[in-house]
Structure 1
Amino acid sequence: MSKRTVRTLGLAAAALLLTACGSSGQIGDSGSTSTAKKMVLIPGVAAEPFYISMECGFREAAKSAGYEVDVQAPAKFDAPLQTPIVTGVLANKPAAVLIAPTDDKALAGPMKQLKDAGIKVVEVDTKLQDTSIASATISSNNEQGGEKAAETLAKLVGDKPGSVLVLNTKAGTSTTDARAKGFETAIKKYPNLKYLGQQYTDNEPDQAASKVTATLSANPDLIGVFATNLNTGEGAATGLRNAGKTGAVNLVGFDASPKQVQDLQAGVVQALIAQDPATIGKLGVERAVAAIEGKEVKRDTETDLVAITKADASANEKYFYKQAC
């Protein structure tokens, strides 16, 4: 083979390499365009009606806005389980991530990685203490919800004296901590009710049930329980049922899962403080789209809650949570 032929082949190979590199760049650009029309929702926990209802609102709004969606949730409401999901999302670089952080401090680092990668972050339901990471936060007015719970419980009890207990989930969960705070503030208005403080259940129904049983043993005058979320509410109902105190101890739950609504209608639960998770999901998408498009974004939004009793349950069916979209 002549030197000229070798030189010609070398130039051809170089040209082919340059073409291939250019082609690779175009594929990368195309891929970036594709991922720019994707949103991811990372709920606090999988298979929970509150987050399923939020997912329904999220999917509907994102589809209307022309975005592909993905939903990834941890098996438990747990920061070590949610963290690898957050870091795993980085590889696909969606345009935005809507997330309910399971710890208001521990998720700050992983969520900052999303922001630093150019991904818009919107908090839904729960939020970080660090307000510099998310573009927006959409949540129920949880402190107001706790106040509603105290007022509703006091109305159910009337002038009868007794002790009341708050069952919280995990310390560091922004939403339930705010609910407990609102309840503690409002319950002081009722001198006939002795506040026993709050106990944590690790978001496990069986722990909620056992803590109710133990509290009843130590405080026979227990007259009311406020459960700050769905799992603690379902567990508290079980504890009261096992102790034969259904109805004798007024139970006010937060959220309106199918099981909780069933317990309300059966008289196991006396009242529910229902949120509007579908609207939280919908507004989360709207804030994310605004952030992506460089428009002004409303930083904090609080959605409404409603107190529901057996008497007005049928009038408030729109607040009942879903098990599937």
Structure 2
Amino acid sequence: MKLTKTLIAAGTLASAASLVAACGSGQVGQSGSGDTSNNTITSKKLTLVPGVQAEPFYISMQCGAQDEAKKLGYELTTQAPQKFDAAMQTTIVNALGSNPPAALLIAPTDDQAMLAPIQQVKNRGTKIVEVDTSLQDKSVAASSISSDNTAGGKLAAQTMAKLAGDKPGSVLILDTIAGTSTTAARAKGFEDELKNHPNLKSAGIQFTQNEPDQAASKVTAALASTPDLIGIFATNLNTGEGAATGLRNAGKIGQVNLVGFDASPSEVDGLKKGEYQALIAQDPAAIGTQGVQQAVAALEGKPVTRNLTADLHSITKDDMDANSKYFYKQNC
């Protein structure tokens, strides 16, 4: 069934040496050659700390941020934790305290645990801009840029309902880590919208710790315990990739509708092969671009918008070629 494209505007500490930085034209998680030894708070040096290294969503965000920083005459350095982990991200942020950038663009990996380290950097005079995820405390950041994740969850449920038609059944929701603001909003939006489709019922939310193998295990368990499982909503690319593996291992590809969030290369390939029935794609490059714009505005004393949203796009196999510009990158 072809769906019409819908747009919505909407705990171990690792040592700092184990966390790999990227800058210039490098990718998230790769080493760069930039020398930040002379960086001061009045410089034009920006730092991006995404949620995790080497993930296409954050690479695409970095690409957009790098391009915009260069355009505006600023230098962007990216440092990413090896895992989506508050302790690892804290190590990176704490290290910035001795050499603070003019502005920090960050995707907090925990909406409470990351408050103290980010606040300490802010106290040194650094402007804070949240990209993708955000803190519960709204007083820290000058601006927050993300997708409208609640609306994205609703879009995913509407997409799932169109895929299911009138067929009744249960739908499993795969979330990442408790305390992750973006995926929690997607899961809630999905569950709320699912109530508007009486033939579908929620099989509950399962947390995967953002690990594909755990997502695959959750799917295997759900298939055994829920005979009427008709669909799975995966709230990010890791859970989606794991869910596809679980369905593949069980021989249930195409029998259970999989709607994924994000559009990583592997997810796009899965959509093409029929392992996914739909993807809800974000626009991470736009989030990175807008993040730099707001950081520069804050630094230059210009008006700053406190909250901005990027568009979301529902993509199926039938219209994927027309929406290829929203597929995530593996390099800039």
| 2:259 maps to amino acid | V
Shift of 1:90: 1.9
Contact 2:128 2:143 in 1 (8 A): yes
**Among residues 294, 298, 309, which one is paired with 1:302 in the alignment?**
309
Aligned 1:206-285 pairs, distance under 5 A: 206-285=213-292
Measure, in 1, the Cα distance between the counterparts of 2:206 and 2:42.
Answer: 44
Matched, 1:189 2:196: yes
One-letter amino acid matched to 1:114 = V
1:320 to 304, 307, 327: 327
Alignment of 1:154-173 (within 5 A): 154-173=161-180
Q: Which amino acid aligns with 2:305?
A: K
Amino acid at match of 2:129: V
C-alpha deviation, 1:69, in angstroms: 1.6
Match of residue 144 from structure 1: 151
Cα distance between partner residues in 2 of 1:34 and 1:292: 10
CA distance in 1, matches of 2:287, 2:302: 20
Distance 1:209 1:66 in 2: 45
Contact 1:146 1:178 in 2 (8 A): yes
Q: What is the deviation of 1:91? A: 1.8
Deviation readout 1:127-149 (Å, 9 max, x if unpaired): 00000001000000100100000
Return the offset for 1:294.
Answer: 1.5
Equivalent-residue separation in structure 1 for 2:186 and 2:63 (angstroms): 24
Cα pair 2:40 2:100 within 8 Å, conserved:
no
TM-score using structure 1 length: 0.90
Per-residue CA deviation, residues 60-82 of structure 1 (Å, 9 max, x unaligned), is 00111111121000000000110
Letter in 2 for 1:242: N
- AA aligned opposite 1:290: A
Q: Any conservation in 1 of the 2:40–2:99 contact (CA below 8 Å)?
A: no
| Post-superposition CA distance 1:219-252 (Å, at most 9, x none) | 0110000000000000000000001100000000
Deviations 1:176-233 (A, max 9, x none): 0000010011000111112111000000000000000000000011000000000000
Q: Distance in 1 between matches of 2:64 and 2:224?
A: 43
Q: Tell me which residue corresponds to 1:121.
A: 128
Query: Counterparts of 2:161 and 2:171 in 1: how far apart (Å)?
Result: 10
Displacement of 1:296 after TM fit? 1.6
SS in 2 for 1:260: helix
Q: RMSD between aligned alpha carbons?
A: 1.2
Alignment of 1:6-155 (within 5 A): 31=38, 36-155=43-162
Give the partner amino acid of 2:159: T
Q: In the alignment, is the contact (CA less than 8 A) between 2:297 and 2:304 conserved in 1?
A: yes
Residue 61 of structure 1 aligns to which amino acid in structure 2? E
Deviates more, 1:289-298 or 1:128-137: 289-298
Do the aligned partners of residues 33 and 86 (structure 1) sit closer, same or farther apart at CA in structure 2, a change above 3 Å counting?
closer
Look up the equivalent residue of 2:316 and give its one-letter code: T
Q: Deviations over 1:101-148 (max 9, x none)?
A: 000000000000111100001000000000000100000010010000
Alpha-carbon distance between aligned partners in 2 of 1:129 and 1:118, rounded to the nearest angstrom: 21
With structure 2 as the length reference, what TM-score do the two structures score? 0.88
**How big is the shift at 1:94?**
1.0
* Offset at residue 33 of structure 1 (A): 5.9
- Say which SS state the counterpart of residue 225 (structure 1) adopts: strand
Deviation of 1:93 (Å) = 1.6
Query: Counterpart amino acid of 1:104?
Result: D
1-structure distance, mates of 2:40, 2:101: 10
**Aligned residue type for 2:187:** A
Identity score, percent:
66
Question: CA–CA distance in 1 between the matches of 2:254 and 2:314?
Answer: 18
Determine which structure has more spread, i.e. the larger CA radius of gyration: 1
How far 1:34 moved relative to its partner?
A: 8.4
* Cα distance in 2, alignment partners of residues 201 and 266 from structure 1: 24
In the alignment, residue 86 of structure 1 is paired with which amino acid? V
Instruction: Report the equivalent of 2:17.
Output: none
Distance (whole Å) between structure 1 residues aligned to residue 123 and residue 47 of structure 2: 17
Determine if contact 1:35/1:92 at 8 Å carries over to the other structure. no
Deviation for aligned residue 1:321: 0.2
Query: In structure 2, what is the Cα distance between the partners aligned to 1:36 and 1:174?
Result: 31
